[in-house]
Amino acid sequence: MVKGVIFDMDGLMFDTERIWDTFWTPCCRQLGVCDPPPEFYTGARGLAGEKLKRHIQSFYPALDPQKLLDAVWARADEQFAKGVPCKPGLRELLAYLEQIGLPRIVASSSPRGLIELNLQTTGVARYFHDVVCGSDVERSKPNPDIFLEAARRLGLNARDCLVLEDSFNGVRAGAAAGAVTVMVPDLAQPTAEIQKLYTCCCRDLFEVLALLRQGRL
Query: What residues act catalytically?
Result: 8, 10
Residue 130, beta-bridge partner list: 105
Q: How many CA atoms lie within 13 A of 28 on its CB side?
A: 17
Maximum separation of any 2 CA atoms in the chain, in Å: 54
What distances in angstroms separate CA 153 from CA 71, 107, 172, 176, 197, one per listed residue?
32, 11, 21, 18, 24
Rounded-to-integer distance, Cα 92 and Cα 209, Å: 8
* CA atoms 106, 167, 217, 158: torsion sign: negative
Beta carbons within 10 angstroms of residue 159's beta carbon: 12
Q: Which of 57, 69, 55 is nearest to 111 (CA)?
A: 69
